[in-house]
Amino acid sequence: MDALKPHGWIILDKPLELGSTQAVGAVKRNLREAGLLGKGKDKLKVGHGGTLDPLATGILPIAIGEATKLCGRMLDASKIYEFTIGFGAETETLDVEGAVTETSDHRPTLADVEAVVPQFTGPIEQIPPKYSALKIDGKRAYDLARAGVAVEMKLRGVTIFSLTVRHPELVS
Q: Look up the CATH number of the domain holding residue 20.
A: 3.30.2350.10
pLDDT number for residue 36: 87
Element (H, E) at 58: strand 58-64
How many other CB atoms sit within 10 Å of the CB of residue 107? Answer: 11
- pTM score, whole prediction: 0.71
Give the mean pLDDT of 32-41: 85
| Residue 138 maps to a domain | yes
Q: How confident is the model at residue 30 (pLDDT cuts 50, 70, 90)?
A: very high
The last residue of a domain, from among 24, 48, 76? 76
* Candidate from 6-15, 108-117, 127-136 with smallest mean pLDDT: 127-136
The last residue of a domain, from among 76, 104, 130? 76
pLDDT number for residue 1: 44
What is the Cα–Cα distance from 76 to 152, expressed in whole angstroms?
A: 22
Q: How confident is the model at residue 168 (pLDDT cuts 50, 70, 90)?
A: low
The last residue of a domain, from among 15, 48, 76? 76
Q: How confident is the model at residue 6 (pLDDT cuts 50, 70, 90)?
A: confident
Q: Give residue 113's domain range.
A: 89-163
What is the Cα–Cα distance from 131 to 92, expressed in whole angstroms?
A: 9
- Total structural domains in the chain? 2
Query: Environment class of residue 72 by beta-carbon count within 10 Å: exposed (0-12), middle (13-18) or buried (19+)?
Result: exposed
| Residue 107 maps to a domain | yes
Residue 93 has pLDDT above 50, yes or no: yes
pLDDT number for residue 155: 93
| Residue 14 maps to a domain | yes
**Active site members:** 53
Q: Tell me: the pLDDT tens digits for 47-88?
A: 998 877 787 888 999 999 999 999 888 877 888 888 888 899
Q: Are residues 70 and 95 in the same domain?
A: no
Residue 2 has pLDDT above 60, yes or no: no
Q: Are residues 57 and 108 in the same domain?
A: no
CA distances from 164 to 11, 105, 143, 169 (A): 25, 24, 32, 13
Distance between alpha carbon 18 and the CA centroid of its chain, in Å?
A: 11
